Structure 1
Amino acid sequence: MSATLVGRDATVEQAWRALAGRSPVIVEGPSGIGKTALWRALVARAEQAGWLVLVAAPTEAEAVLPYAALADLLRPLAARVPALPLPQRVAAEVVLLATRADEPVDERAVGAATRALLDAAAGGDVPVLLTVDDPCWLDPPSERALRFALRRLTRRPRVLITHRTHGDDPADAPLLLDDDHLAGPPRRVAVPPLGAGALHHIVRARLGGTLSRPLLARIARDAGGNPLLAIELARAVLRLPRTPSPGEDLPVPSSMRQLLAGTLDALPAGSRDAVRLAALLTVPTVADLARAGVSADAFDAAEEAGLLSVGPRRIGFTHPLYAAAVREGVPAGVRQRLHRILADAVADPDERARQLARCTAAPDAAVATELAAAAARQRARGAPAVAAAWYERAADLTPAQATADRDRRLLDAVQCHLDSGDYAAAGAGADAAATRLAGPALAEALLLRATVAWCVDDLPGAVRTAERALAAAGDDTQLAGRVHAHLTLFHDAPEPARRHAEAAIAHLSDRADERPLLAAALLLLFFHEVRAGRPARTELLDRGLALEAGEPSWLAGSIPAIWWRATDEHGRARDRLHDMLDRAVARGDEPWQHEVLTHLGEAELLAGRFTTAGEHIAAARELGEQLGTGLVGETWLAGLLDAYRGRLAEAGAVAEGGLRRAAELDDAWSRRIHLQLAGFVALSAGRMSEAAEAYGALAAELDGSRIAEPLAQRFEPDWIEACVGAGDLDTARAALARLARRHDRLPRPWTILGLARSRVLVVAAAGADPVAELAELAAARARVPADVLPLDRARCLLVAGRAHRRARRRREAGAALSAAAAEFTGIGAVAFADRAQAELARIGRRAPAPTALTPTEERVARLAAQGRTNRAIADTLFISPKTVEANLARVYRKLCISSRAELGAAMGRPPGPVPG
């Protein structure tokens, strides 16, 4: 969907379904909300569906041009005009400007011609859509002719109009059409306000700039979700030398400033001061303003001017930007005095702190303490962006001699920026703090900077900065324990990560203030010991979960879910992650939401729930894009999902881009996951040598990092399949042995199925009939419940069907392949369903007679039959690997075989033409 329609999918579908069901549709909403963009999308969809679309989009300037809109509507029906009776034909030709009117046109004839043309069009085989955007600008003659015609139609077209609302009541403005003009009661489709996520895409597409997630949320709120106003606000923000803090107003559009300046100037002095005091309050209440000396009747003039409304307890401005515009117009000196009045009057401690912050210029320990306490309350309530601004203001007002308090408040501000997802502000704050701090405070600043690096997928930077933090921590054992725990998370290689986990555990105790970090260190130690190939010490997992006491930490909360996902306990992983997501939402911690959504997407992908996985991955990508993270994990998952669904070009592009980025950043983790994706894409496309090469490089990467058990990567069965397809049985057997070691170390449903499937492939490739292995494969499928690994179970059927087909057991092959195709289709694995259908098509089909090979094809085939790789063949024959691949494809086609594994028998013939 285009940038102008971001976030409108459901609304478009709702309107289209109504039109398809012949219900008239009225798309309604306030100015700027996006009615016209949605209307254009519906018109384009109708045209693509082959409907006859009669369109008018009048403008204010055209309202004085007689029949301008009607001419637009009737122009597609011009070919029917000659068949009209003479008076109607003349009237229609005048409307269409096909002839000059010698006499005034009869409006009744125009209406009759319009009715006749619409009746004739609606009586055809093609659906007719009559549609008007913004009918309030219809010229009066066109409107009268349409009303006349529509009231008398015998066959009614589908009708789509837009309607501009001015309040909560959709009927507060007249419509073009009365209900009795329509085929039935109209379906009103309200265009909803857009949230921060959709506005992010619109702002980026229209203005080319990006804003932080907290700032976008403020723009969405102040604009009321109106994309037109949001674009104007974003444009004004992007022009500013610095980003407004949560306590500062967003820029007010000049048109609104000018409008309100006149309104305010017209108010009596007492009313103007009352409006200013109300605007300076976050939530203006009658009680607070009364304590500030403002009576309720002081607002009468402002209420009559439509500026605000007075309720029994609260005062509300007609638009959120009105209050900002009023504040902007208050002179600085007057504003400071009014803030002081309000600080002494309000009852809420947070509101008092806000007012004090704005009327205090010089350092003041008492005010700084009140502000820091208010920031802590905002932080606890899940408003980290607001808390960050208050901590920064508290630091500014902290006297110079209170160094420790100032440093603590600055670091708290950085942490709150981090929690809110404003990584740019968090990184800048941490860098600034690090330049002026020393000792433990410096270590805190560096640790926060390292966490920012980790959040944006800069793992090497995170490790380097955290090592500096460890050096700065000195003798502070608790701080050193915190840094060690973070380094355990940041390190990719299991051995150094394990050592840091052990050091963290040694430095930390189970006191209440250290317990969350100790729990995280225990979970991370368990995780990295498993990755290093050590036995799974589940007692570490149990102890860590017990210390958590139901409160998962950001540092290691996902470890239990990763473990359960790796052991195919998808239900437990899902429950854990959903609980974490609920907590992150309640806390307003969007970075944590982003991480959890990514893990949920991967868990559902492995569980074969592709639709749900796609929803989680899409949500993670959108949130990550707004937060400014590297988007590595969710982009890779999206590529993997594309590959499963048969979109190999898109998945291949993700793999290539990810490998390039990993090379630029020297990011081993990113390189591994994208090598796996590249191998899977090549395998799915039938490029077996390329797939085997990618999987071999992945295995080498893991060995180089000393990762014996990559919990999130289960690639060996695919590697074996690629090697078998490429005719490299030695590597296939070595990969099978590697998979067997993983199974012996940690048996799981996926290793059970992967081993059984791979053994069938290897034995069949060696030329034997894998009868025993097929029995083992059937038993493995029976051991794994149908809802645990639906994709892996279906792939076992595919392998079994291929093995039976090669052994000429047509009935068994057909049954296995049919079942595989059904299971693949059921979960949406399009790529695999196509492969199963292709194998089915080969059963019972008489193979075409082999044809002669060219000399080059002959040489390539003989070298491939000897087990040579594509690269080795290319070097021997002085041709490119792509030429080798193309020649092999022709060899398979000419010899009526499907893989390199069958070349040995096929090339047992003497050189020369292959007999038919």
Structure 2
Amino acid sequence: MTGPGAQDLLERAAESAAMTAAAHAAAGGQGSLLVFEGEAGIGKTRLLLEARAISADAGFRIARARASELERDLAFGVTRQLFEPLLRAGCDAGPDSPWEGSAAQAREVFTAADPAAPVGDFAVLHGLFWLTVNVGHDRPLALLIDDLQWCDTQSLEFLVYLLARIDELPLLIVATMRTGETVAAEPLLRQIATDPSAKVYRPKPLSDRAVTQLLRHELSSDVHREFALACHQATGGNPLLLRELARTLTEEEFTASAVDAGKVADLEPRAISRIVRTRLARVPLESVSLAKAVAILGDRADLAIAARLAGQEFTTALESTAPLERTGFIGTEQTDSRVRLTFTHPLVRTAVYNMMTLAERAGAHRRAAELMSAAGSDPERVAAHLLRTPPAHDAAVVEALRSAAASARAHGAPAGAYTYLRRALDESSAGEERLALLSEAGQAALLVDLGVAVSLLRQAYESASLPRLKAMIGYSLGAALLYTVRTSEAKKILMESAELTPKSETELLRHIQSYILNIPVVESGRHEDIEKLLTDLRRLPPEGRVGSRLLDCIIAYHDMMRSDPRAGSRALRGLSDGVLVRHANGESPMVCGWITLLAAEKPQVSTSLEAAIKQAHRHGSLRDATVASLFRGADYLQQGFLDDAVVMLREAVRTGKSANAVIALPIARSYLAEALLEQGSAQEAASVLTEEDANEKALAPAYFFARTQSPVLLHTGDAQHAFESAVACGRCCEGFGITNPSLVPWRSDAVWSLHVLGRGEEARAYAGEELELARRWGSPRALGRALRSMATATPKEGMEFLEEAVEVLKQSNANLEKAKALAEYGAALRRAGRRQASRKPLHEALDLASRCGALPLVKRVRAELAAAGGQPRRTAVTGPESLTPSERRVAELAAEGATNRHIAQTLFVTPKTIELHLSNVYRKLGNVTRGELSEALAVPARRRAPH
């Protein structure tokens, strides 16, 4: 095997074995991440070299990157390092182009993007994911990243996105991370290191024995034990310090004898800066100046620019590289007809960088920015230097930083845009320019840090004088305040903004009003002024524009909360034609429209949510993707497709964490816990609920995440606390004015808890209330559940209520609720002595429960069938109607001739997921082949006869 010699991997057998095993697994399609964490010089980079050798021997395509302090604000800087050499190498053309399909969304990461058409951060992450898949489609891929602690935020977000899917990819990621560094992206680093697919190794210092072995190799001589012990004590067993010490020992003509052991401590081997200064003192001044220029410019510095920064002719600089290479500090490479210089270790760069004073460094960075700008460098690379200069109220610097912010936005990097604009604010003075910067920075911060966004937008709001401009800023500020549940402030700002809006600006006014009406959704209590506004706005004729549609959605939500059956039609009007999906995807008033349609069981909600997911993947942000996945998962759950629901809700939780979507996360976890409970994973359901932190609970409307706690507690056998939890949820609903049992069915949860506790009279009261409200609202699922609850509370009349529940749900798509009603009805018939009559509804219940994947219900129905003298089928139902929505879409696309990779890109999943879906499809359709899918999908369901 090629690569580092054995002396470079002393006492690293466990780490080497882990890399070999991970490479083998990745070659088989199960990827993983290995992280080597430790102090500087402990040998992490050497392990990365070994990973490269192992991957090369296994036939991997290899991409490498090294993060640096200078470029940690450069959007997707590490991602570019990884993929640009591969793209330059020629895999950018032909039928297997890496840009095939969704990967094209990531092109702007590697090119000069159009600021007028920015791509959402989630769309870019999704595109990068498919770029990764495409690059590795014909052979496994290894991504090797050094110094992850300095990685830019956007590349870390990309790693998080990859890790959520890595176990289905032929991908090996190996990264190193230095301890003891203060990093701004610590939450992302922690998320990466604690991911289930990640394994973290912490290489230990070398032992006395290994130190002796290394010194023998470096010094090419025998080493006395006392001398080796002195070196071990001086370096702490740090391999880098040992090598530098050995080099110094050679230069100072020391012998490795016991006599010289006492002199080792005098060399101060831990001070890398001292070693660097000592060696640089022996090279020409031109070489020192060039080294400082490279320290300013960072890794892979262009020699031509480094020469100008050092004040040298190119030929002089080229001659100056040789002495630097001899020191072992700097290496050179030639790419694209350019000579590039890189320090051999970040510690060396830091030492050279620190040889300059603060004033020298600031001046050099400003000069570097000028040189790079003149050379046509990426605006963000230019800005990376400007970030390291003190403010000087320079208009040119402000313009350069704004240009970099526009570039970052176009690349789908809102955090980068915010960073550049925040620095531009320090550079600007008062006046219109500063007002514009405050507004721009505040808008960028809306997707990065809502607290910062509020601060910046408030300054802009207070500085603005023109009514229309002030109203526009107030709209954004009010939304940010609302998202952070500072509702009284939000109300004040939004009301003021509505008053300031010119009468001709109807569209802006409708946007503002939609957010005013959103306030009672997140804050309980009476809002008489908003109620009056709501009454007035209900009378507005439909206008068809975005603002009017947002109003329709939020008004519909208010009507739905009060069980007004007209709410569904208004929500449909707001969400029709996909206008909001294209222009306001994920905005809070729009989301309220989805929730209303779900409560009303309108099938159009599925179409709207699918379009929203597609829009988020192609153009949208992490926030857009989170809310669309969340409510598509809720839709699947409501229809009873539990497997699809769990997949979608897990995705919502993952993207919600990346987006810091503190309002959406507890809601997603609540629905996920409910789906898991129905699947029979009660322990995991309880665990999912406990993941909510205090901040999330403080921001999200409590009635959403409280709704699942009672069923989970009841399942664990704690009926008393389950009842108390249901009642507490009810009190919360009352505070918000929510009566609709389709939104939060807390009364029926109370009924089932009271039934277990033997408190029948209380149960009947709650059941009666819910049934009355459900009849008023009229959706089959809510009414069927209320009737089932009433049957539990009134056993004598239970058969009548269950018959009605079965009839009500007959045409509903709420398959799980339908299965529960059939199961209860069949059980009631059996208990009444009508065993034969009970078998038909029980068989139907079993079929439906099996399709839903509701294992506890399947088990319960099987027991009832056995007690009724029936023969429960031992195999699942088959045929087209047994397919879940995801399986059917996969089957239809495969039947049309699409490849697995094309299907995966169309449905926003991995190719391996498509393989699993197709395996289920073939089995459910009677072990058909791919070529027989069209015919099989057209055949009515082939039910197997009961055994």
Tell me the TM-score normalized by structure 1: 0.57
| Cross-structure match for 1:488 | 517
- Write out per-residue CA displacement over residues 865-909 of structure 1, whole angstroms, 9 at most, x where no aligned residue: xxxxxxxxxxxxxxxxxxxxxxxxxxxxxxxxxxxxxxxxxxxxx
Map 1:508-547 → 2, pairs under 5 A: 516-534=546-564, 535-536=566-567, 538-539=569-570, 541-542=572-573, 545=576
Question: Is 1:467 matched with 2:485?
Answer: no
- By how many angstroms is 1:587 displaced? 5.2
Question: Is 1:561 matched with 2:590?
Answer: no
Question: Is 1:341 matched with 2:371?
Answer: yes
Question: Is 1:414 matched with 2:436?
Answer: no
Deviates more, 1:333-342 or 1:229-238: 229-238
For the residues of structure 1 that align with 2:514 and 2:348, how far apart are their CA atoms?
45
For the residues of structure 1 that align with 2:474 and 2:556, how far apart are their CA atoms?
26
Which amino acid is 2:779 matched to?
Answer: R
Task: Flag the 1:578–1:532 CA change in 2: closer, same or farther, 3 A.
Answer: same
- Write out per-residue CA displacement over residues 830-881 of structure 1, whole angstroms, 9 at most, x where no aligned residue: 3333443554565579xxxxxxxxxxxxxxxxxxxxxxxxxxxxxxxxxxxx
Task: Flag the 1:745–1:369 CA change in 2: closer, same or farther, 3 A.
Answer: farther
Contact kept, 8 Å, 1:591 with 1:627, in 2: the verdict is yes
Which amino acid is 2:707 matched to?
Answer: Q
For the residues of structure 1 that align with 2:806 and 2:284, how far apart are their CA atoms?
85
For the residues of structure 1 that align with 2:608 and 2:145, how far apart are their CA atoms?
28
- Write out per-residue CA displacement over residues 678-701 of structure 1, whole angstroms, 9 at most, x where no aligned residue: 332344456666555544554454
Task: Flag the 1:783–1:468 CA change in 2: closer, same or farther, 3 A.
Answer: closer
For the residues of structure 2 that align with 1:661 and 1:323, how far apart are their CA atoms?
39
Which amino acid is 1:230 matched to?
Answer: M
| Cross-structure match for 1:230 | 177
Which amino acid is 2:443 matched to?
Answer: Q
Secondary structure of 1:713's counterpart equals coil
For the residues of structure 2 that align with 1:590 and 1:28, how far apart are their CA atoms?
23
- By how many angstroms is 1:567 displaced? 3.3
Map 1:350-429 → 2, pairs under 5 A: 361-400=391-430, 403-419=431-447, 421-423=448-450, 425-426=452-453, 429=456
For the residues of structure 2 that align with 1:294 and 1:566, how far apart are their CA atoms?
73
Which amino acid is 1:637 matched to?
Answer: Y
For the residues of structure 2 that align with 1:694 and 1:286, how far apart are their CA atoms?
68
Contact kept, 8 Å, 1:645 with 1:831, in 2: the verdict is yes
| Cross-structure match for 2:622 | 590
- By how many angstroms is 1:386 displaced? 1.5
Tell me the TM-score normalized by structure 2: 0.55
For the residues of structure 2 that align with 1:503 and 1:373, how far apart are their CA atoms?
44
- Write out per-residue CA displacement over residues 608-655 of structure 1, whole angstroms, 9 at most, x where no aligned residue: 233333233333334444554544223323332342233445545766
| Cross-structure match for 1:798 | 823
Cα RMSD (Å): 5.9
| Cross-structure match for 1:249 | none
| Cross-structure match for 1:104 | none
Contact kept, 8 Å, 2:33 with 2:172, in 1: the verdict is no
Number of residue equivalences: 653
Secondary structure of 2:518's counterpart equals helix
Task: Flag the 1:817–1:467 CA change in 2: closer, same or farther, 3 A.
Answer: same
Secondary structure of 2:583's counterpart equals coil
Map 1:232-381 → 2, pairs under 5 A: 232=179, 235=182, 269=286, 273=290, 276=293, 280=297, 301=321, 307-312=331-336, 325=349, 328=353, 331-332=360-361, 333-346=363-376, 361-381=391-411
Secondary structure of 2:707's counterpart equals helix
Map 1:852-867 → 2, pairs under 5 A: none
Task: Flag the 1:165–1:615 CA change in 2: closer, same or farther, 3 A.
Answer: same
Q: Percent identity?
A: 19
Deviates more, 1:602-611 or 1:439-448: 439-448
For the residues of structure 1 that align with 2:341 and 2:773, how far apart are their CA atoms?
65
For the residues of structure 1 that align with 2:737 and 2:34, how far apart are their CA atoms?
61
For the residues of structure 2 that align with 1:272 and 1:750, how far apart are their CA atoms?
76
Q: Relative CO higher for 1 or 2, CA cutoff 8 Å, sep ≥ 6?
A: 2
Contact kept, 8 Å, 1:194 with 1:226, in 2: the verdict is yes
For the residues of structure 2 that align with 1:413 and 1:14, how far apart are their CA atoms?
47
Contact kept, 8 Å, 1:340 with 1:355, in 2: the verdict is no
Which amino acid is 1:32 matched to?
Answer: F
For the residues of structure 2 that align with 1:163 and 1:232, how far apart are their CA atoms?
21
Map 1:719-738 → 2, pairs under 5 A: 719-722=750-753, 732=763, 734-738=765-769
Task: Flag the 1:335–1:500 CA change in 2: closer, same or farther, 3 A.
Answer: same
| Cross-structure match for 1:170 | 57
- By how many angstroms is 1:799 displaced? 0.3
For the residues of structure 2 that align with 1:321 and 1:608, how far apart are their CA atoms?
56
| Cross-structure match for 1:702 | 733
Question: Is 1:824 matched with 2:824?
Answer: no
- Of the three residues 628, 632, 642, the one matched with 1:610 is 642
- Write out per-residue CA displacement over residues 208-251 of structure 1, whole angstroms, 9 at most, x where no aligned residue: xx999659449989x999676235386555899xxxxxxxxxxx
Contact kept, 8 Å, 2:369 with 2:386, in 1: the verdict is yes
Contact kept, 8 Å, 1:213 with 1:627, in 2: the verdict is no
- By how many angstroms is 1:802 displaced? 1.8
Contact kept, 8 Å, 1:753 with 1:781, in 2: the verdict is yes
Which amino acid is 2:179 matched to?
Answer: E
Secondary structure of 2:333's counterpart equals strand
- Of the three residues 784, 790, 793, the one matched with 1:753 is 784
Contact kept, 8 Å, 1:260 with 1:322, in 2: the verdict is no
Task: Flag the 1:703–1:239 CA change in 2: closer, same or farther, 3 A.
Answer: closer
Secondary structure of 1:707's counterpart equals coil
Secondary structure of 2:494's counterpart equals helix
Map 1:127-138 → 2, pairs under 5 A: none
| Cross-structure match for 1:633 | 667
Which amino acid is 2:710 matched to?
Answer: G
For the residues of structure 2 that align with 1:732 and 1:467, how far apart are their CA atoms?
40
Task: Flag the 1:278–1:577 CA change in 2: closer, same or farther, 3 A.
Answer: farther
Task: Flag the 1:677–1:363 CA change in 2: closer, same or farther, 3 A.
Answer: same
For the residues of structure 2 that align with 1:454 and 1:674, how far apart are their CA atoms?
19
For the residues of structure 2 that align with 1:26 and 1:563, how far apart are their CA atoms?
41
- Write out per-residue CA displacement over residues 807-850 of structure 1, whole angstroms, 9 at most, x where no aligned residue: 122344455446545643543333333443554565579xxxxx
- By how many angstroms is 1:389 displaced? 1.7
Deviates more, 1:533-542 or 1:723-732: 723-732
Secondary structure of 1:363's counterpart equals coil
Which amino acid is 2:599 matched to?
Answer: A
For the residues of structure 2 that align with 1:681 and 1:715, how far apart are their CA atoms?
13
Contact kept, 8 Å, 2:727 with 2:746, in 1: the verdict is no
Contact kept, 8 Å, 1:640 with 1:677, in 2: the verdict is yes
Which amino acid is 1:532 matched to?
Answer: R
Which amino acid is 2:549 matched to?
Answer: A
Contact kept, 8 Å, 2:711 with 2:749, in 1: the verdict is yes
Compare CA radii of gyration and give the structure with the larger one: 1
Contact kept, 8 Å, 1:438 with 1:472, in 2: the verdict is no
For the residues of structure 1 that align with 2:635 and 2:24, how far apart are their CA atoms?
31
Which amino acid is 2:436 matched to?
Answer: R
Q: Which runs of 5+ in 2 are unaligned?
A: 1-13, 61-137, 164-170, 188-238, 245-271, 871-947
For the residues of structure 2 that align with 1:324 and 1:484, how far apart are their CA atoms?
58
- By how many angstroms is 1:489 displaced? 2.6
Secondary structure of 1:470's counterpart equals helix
| Cross-structure match for 1:676 | 707
- By how many angstroms is 1:524 displaced? 1.5
Map 1:129-208 → 2, pairs under 5 A: 164-166=51-53, 169-170=56-57
For the residues of structure 1 that align with 2:743 and 2:145, how far apart are their CA atoms?
34
For the residues of structure 2 that align with 1:747 and 1:821, how far apart are their CA atoms?
26
